[in-house]
Structure 1
Amino acid sequence: MASMREFQKKWAQRVFTVDMLFVAVVALVASLIGAWLKQYPVFSLFGALIIALLIGMLVQFPIRRWYVGTADDAAANAKSGASAGAAVAARTSQQRRAGVKDAAGLISNKLLRLGIILLGFKLNLTVLFTQGIKCLPIAALVVTFTIVVTYAIARRLGVDPMLAILVAGGTGICGAAAVMGLSGSIRVPEERETEKADDVTMAVATVAIMGTVFALAEIALGPLTGMSHTQLGITAGASLHEIAHAVAAGAAFGAVDIAAIMKLSRVLMLVFAAVIIAIWWDKRHSQVAGDGRRVVAFPWFMLGFIAASVIGTFVPFVAAITAQLVNVAYIVLGMAMAALGLTVNFKAIVAQGRRVFLASFLASILLMFLAAGIAILFF
């Protein structure tokens, strides 16, 4: 009982703070702006999550200036003996910086899991296992191929394993949501949490840009290939990274339904990929607990994802409000993305940017041709 009270006290001290309230409000506003902007043509290709991430990345500069304060300058003044007030300002600034970082990390971590669970309501299992029954084995093949190939290319180019697998998952499954979902399968020591956050941001940015580039390419070149509308829809759903990309391309081809079904079949693969990658990461990059046991970061929230899919499909009154629940999911995920953006290390992104972009670009080309070949052969 005492340990439970101590646990509750510890979490209360982390959650009920001014910094937590400040970061939560900033993240919520960024998410709502992303949800509003996605309705417009250009922004719809990026999607609400990417817009929220970009807003978070941009607002970290004014936050540092006006909320956190210039800790470095204050510390320098204090060290030179400028004034006692400078020392106080330095301590206050450092505390706020640590508070904002902790709040952003907590929000991005916990809301990510809640958002992924709520996103499960988007998967109508009846549709997937009836109209989309032909798409499921294709999705399994496409996702497996893309993850393996993207990871291999990225590692050959010198990208670190964590970033390589996150980009591979985002490219193969469903963009930003997959990157954030798979990040829950990767357990790292506390001292590497900042590195992990940077890798997640880099992976999200990469798949967002690549998905947009290839969506525009498929929309422009698709009608010139001589493929049927259904084949073009299957190609879009099987190859494009974000759900928004697949829907936009499918709508352009007059095949939005089949494109969405194909894409959601890939989204379902996130459950299996998360578990497999958790086991693989443990074997290749195992973490050791204090008692010497190996610890697998099993993504338990994926069970919530499956439960939400089942409930949304088979419980009538819930099925009637799945659209609203999915909207809430994107708001929650948008907050997680914005909070992630607040902690971005731009130097770390620049350091590996070119190599990981090249890996994703090459893999996306192969994915597009594989998807087109499958569409021509089976549809």
Structure 2
Amino acid sequence: MNMYVKFFERGFIYAFLMTLVCSIIGTLLGGLPYLSIIGALVISLILGMLFQVYRPAIEKAEVGIGFISNKFLRLGIILLGFKLNLVDLAHAGVKTILVAAVVVTGVIILTYNITRKLGVNKRLAILTASGTGICGAAAVMGVSPQIKVDKDQEHEKRNEEVLAVAIVAILGTVFTLIEISIKPLLHMSPSQFGVMAGGSLHEIAHAIATGGAGGPVSLDAAIITKLSRVLLLAPAALIIGIWYQHSEKKADDATKQKLPIPWFMAGFLAASVIGTFVPMSANVLDFLVKLAYLVLGMAMAALGMTVNFKAFFSSGKNAVLAALSSSVILLLFMIVVSKTFF
């Protein structure tokens, strides 16, 4: 009953409309040639941040903004599962899945350890590592619910989410431009170039932009390789949640804690199974994927509306350096792997 009341509260309606506008504009701008490598989700986040100029509107919509950044995020990730075609991933072969597993595991561990050695706090370190290793903003937002904090730390955690998203978005864009520019020097086949792009870049939009520069064969290879990494979002979120809780829990109540099972990730996998095996038209699948990005865009805009800019700019330098270092290592690794095994 309370949820239905919340939907009709003025604060929720304000928040819904503001975030919807940001998401729609983000989607439109994200489709433009020079903005496509940034991606609709990051543009929505930036638009949400710009909304902070008008503080009275943010204050009126505060409750709704919190609800959207939390619940709509989970709904968007579930719907994103329809983008994963499991048959296509199976056809890609064991090599592609194995490379994805090595990349996700290795980059998360590498980035996390570098960030911690540079003095970055544990939450920001694991969020940055997840976004770098798996699939950018969606990975940051998929892993974040597994990191439980006290209520007085929730605002700080939101700032860390936004910072991690910004880091992977900026670095992903930079490396997209780098990979396209060095393409003539690599002497790769279209398939090899696509595998390199999908295995090394952060966002799906980055992989598409880079893979597309190598032609249709390269684009297909980039998408399949990238989606192989996306498929690992659910198990990675579960493992990270269990690890984080285990590392944080007190010895005296270790037996009382519940495992942080990400139920919305089960929805993500169920959506991929339905999208793969349940007969439905390409138009319906396309609509569901577009709806996923619209809902995720609203969640990102809601995050942008709550970011603390002072904390945002003061705590990110070392996290950027760590993600940059691991991104360089990942690119070199994928060049070698692509040329050797594909």
Matched residue type, 2:46: L
TM-score by structure 2 length?
0.95
The answer as to whether partners of 1:227 and 1:376 remain within 8 angstroms in 2 is yes
The aligned counterpart of 1:154 is 115
State the secondary structure of the residue aligned to 1:295. coil
TM-score by structure 1 length?
0.86
1:330 to 1:288, Cα distance in 2 relative to 1, 3 A: farther
1:20 offset after TM fit, Å? 1.1
Matched residue type, 1:39: G
CA-atom RMSD in angstroms: 1.8
The aligned counterpart of 2:224 is 261
Q: State the alpha-carbon separation in 2 of the partners of residues 38 and 266 from structure 1.
A: 22
Long gaps (5+) in structure 2:
none
User: Percent identity among equivalent residues?
Assistant: 50
Q: State the alpha-carbon separation in 1 of the partners of residues 214 and 282 from structure 2.
A: 28
1:67 and 2:57 aligned: yes
Q: State the alpha-carbon separation in 2 of the partners of residues 67 and 304 from structure 1.
A: 33
1:53 and 2:16 aligned: no
Q: State the alpha-carbon separation in 2 of the partners of residues 230 and 157 from structure 1.
A: 37
The aligned counterpart of 2:292 is 329
The aligned counterpart of 2:197 is 236
Q: State the alpha-carbon separation in 2 of the partners of residues 207 and 299 from structure 1.
A: 23
1:320 offset after TM fit, Å? 5.4
The aligned counterpart of 1:75 is none
State the secondary structure of the residue aligned to 1:42. coil
The answer as to whether partners of 2:10 and 2:61 remain within 8 angstroms in 1 is no
User: What is the aligned counterpart of 2:259 among 291, 296, 299?
Assistant: 296
1:214 and 2:175 aligned: yes
Q: State the alpha-carbon separation in 2 of the partners of residues 267 and 116 from structure 1.
A: 11
Long gaps (5+) in structure 1:
1-7, 69-96
State the secondary structure of the residue aligned to 2:34. helix
1:56 to 1:132, Cα distance in 2 relative to 1, 3 A: farther
1:367 offset after TM fit, Å? 0.7
The aligned counterpart of 1:118 is 79
User: What is the aligned counterpart of 2:31 among 19, 31, 39?
Assistant: 39
Matched residue type, 2:161: V
Equivalent runs, 1:97-116 vs 2, <5 Å? 97=59, 100-116=61-77
Matched residue type, 2:104: V
1:123 offset after TM fit, Å? 0.3
The aligned counterpart of 2:14 is 22
The aligned counterpart of 2:325 is 362
Between 1:290-299 and 1:49-58, the stretch displaced more is: 290-299
1:185 and 2:116 aligned: no
Q: State the alpha-carbon separation in 1 of the partners of residues 182 and 73 from structure 2.
A: 35
Matched residue type, 2:227: L
1:13 offset after TM fit, Å? 4.9
Q: State the alpha-carbon separation in 2 of the partners of residues 40 and 144 from structure 1.
A: 33
Q: Deviations over 1:87-109 (max 9, x none)?
A: xxxxxxxxxx2x53322111010
Between 1:288-297 and 1:174-183, the stretch displaced more is: 288-297
State the secondary structure of the residue aligned to 1:28. helix
1:235 to 1:160, Cα distance in 2 relative to 1, 3 A: same
1:292 to 1:231, Cα distance in 2 relative to 1, 3 A: closer
